[in-house]
Amino acid sequence: MTFVSFDPSSGRVLAHHACLSETELEHRLSRAFQTTQAWQQTVPAERSALLFRLASTLSEKRESLARELSHETGTLLADCLREIERCAEECTHFAAHGQAMLPAARSQISQLPIGLMLALTAGPAPLWQCFRLLAPALMAGNGLLLKPAGHLSRLVTLLEQLLSDADLPQGLVTPLRISKEQVAALVADSRIAGLAYSGEHKGGAAMAALAGAQLKPVRLDLARANVQLILDDAELEPAVESVLNSCFRYRTSWRQSEGGVLITPALADAFLEQLAARLIHLETGQPGHPAADIGPLAKSGQREWLERQLREAERQGGRIRCGGVMPDEPGWYYPATLIEGDKPAQTLFPAWPAGPFCGVLRVADEAAMTALCHDLNTDGVASIWTRDRARGEQLARTLPFDVCRVNPDPYHGRHWPPYSEPEQRPALKEFCRTKTVLVSA
């Protein structure tokens, strides 16, 4: 098996990388297992020092790392710089606060490292997805075998160099290029003590099934549904800005999830007019170009898939307000696209295709919004827009989502998926096992 890395801005091949042989995989697994056993015995202060060192390396090399990341993912260079800053912040957070999160070593109930963990990532901000698992796993005393998404084979080399520059012990974090069959074999290996996955629901379900068959703990960090509910008394400007952030900034390259915009009739025309006016001026371009607002999609075939979905929505009666035309140019670009309708199928609701896309569904009232939302995944975020806070709070209490925000700041976390904001960091105990010592009198 060979992994192929593409340049999304041109469609040309950047590199071919061979899948690890069984011999080489066994060598890396054995080394990782031995290194993890030693790492489990380190004191928290030593783990903190390593994470501070890793944060410093990320900051020092942010320009070159961002260029490499942008080249393979198609993400705008400015957003890649922010992603690396977030990775450094994550390391610093657990380095500074991790020791306080763990009980004293001599307490009767203590948190011990799980051991060597296998982590798979597949989602927007790929370096961030890695560090979101890496930082707490290391602070808890674990080692990590790390497999990024298959189309990001150059990211493995980037991670290897970064970890070497930060002087991490060999084998403590091991990036891998391996097949699905090799992943399944690793899950069954007795040296793998726990699993972690960050990405879409389909991949999370597959990982949970593998973990369940082996009765091994698994930590899932899954994409959340993200729905914007705009009531007829909402303030237009922040609602439009929020939709721009949700649908068109950063996550346009490969995010697929549940979501969309639900709006009541009185404000629909004005909202659509203002949003379309903003979208018309968004420029697609090379990820490193400072004037570019939207880069290419990350994976081959995504824009063809998006095009087919849009044509089907049009056939159902959907109305495209802007975009929606496949560009005739090299690379995997697609213009910012806005489609509206009165039925879910006309706006692709609740499917949220990967790409610079927004579907706006006109609904009669709050009751209709609630009914539509109850068919979505409850692990999601709803943003409610209304000048009447009591009305917004009442609607929020009827919705099924874990997080409901009434008139949130549309500029907060504007470049980040709603399931990876820093205030939603994983608890360190999720990367530990609990041990109880009872001493009889």
- Quickly list DSSP for 218-274: EEEEEPPEEEEEE-TT--HHHHHHHHHHHHHSSGGGT--EEEEEEE-HHHHHHHHHH
Looking at 173-177, 331-335, 389-393, 419-423, which range is the least confident one? 419-423
- Work out the widest C-alpha separation in the chain, in whole angstroms: 80
Residue 180 CB burial class (10 angstroms; 0-12, 13-18, ≥19):
exposed
**What pTM was computed for the model?**
0.88
Q: Bigger pLDDT: 422 or 429?
A: 429
pLDDT at 329: 84
The token pair that represents 115 in the structure block:
């051991």
Cα 146 to Cα 90: distance, rounded to the nearest angstrom: 17
What is 225-406's CATH superfamily? Aldehyde Dehydrogenase; Chain A, domain 2 (3.40.309.10)
pLDDT at 434: 87
pLDDT at 335: 92
pLDDT at 226: 87
Residue type at position 43: V
424: which DSSP letter? Answer: G
Q: Is 80 helix (H, G, I), strand (E, B) or coil?
A: helix
| Residue 350: cis peptide before it, omega within 30 degrees of 0 | yes
CATH code 3.40.309.10 region(s) in the chain: 225-406
CATH code 3.40.605.10 region(s) in the chain: 2-223+424-436
Looking at 339-343, 402-406, 436-440, which range is the least confident one? 436-440
Q: How confident is the model at residue 249 (pLDDT cuts 50, 70, 90)?
A: low
Cα 147 to Cα 13: distance, rounded to the nearest angstrom: 21
Give the pLDDT confidence of 140-185 residue by residue, as tens digits: 999 999 999 988 999 999 999 999 999 999 999 999 999 999 999 9
Give the pLDDT confidence of 30-58 residue by residue, as tens digits: 999 999 999 999 999 999 999 999 999 99
What is the pLDDT of the chain when averaged over all its residues?
Answer: 90
pLDDT at 180: 92
In 3-state terms the chain splits into helix, strand, coil percentages (rounded to 5) of 45, 20, 35
Q: What percent of the chain has pLDDT above 70? A: 94
pLDDT at 418: 45
Residues 189-215, mean pLDDT to the nearest whole number: 92
Residue type at position 171: G
Residues 215-222, mean pLDDT to the nearest whole number: 91
Q: Is 426 helix (H, G, I), strand (E, B) or coil?
A: coil
Residues 389-409, mean pLDDT to the nearest whole number: 94
pLDDT at 419: 44
Residue type at position 343: K
Report strand pairing: 432-436 vs 109-113. antiparallel
CATH 3.40.50.2000 describes domain 2-223+424-436? no
Looking at 226-230, 289-293, 334-338, which range is the least confident one? 289-293
Q: How confident is the model at residue 237 (pLDDT cuts 50, 70, 90)?
A: very high
Cα 370 to Cα 88: distance, rounded to the nearest angstrom: 39
Residues 228-256, mean pLDDT to the nearest whole number: 82
The token pair that represents 204 in the structure block:
């999370």
pLDDT at 183: 95
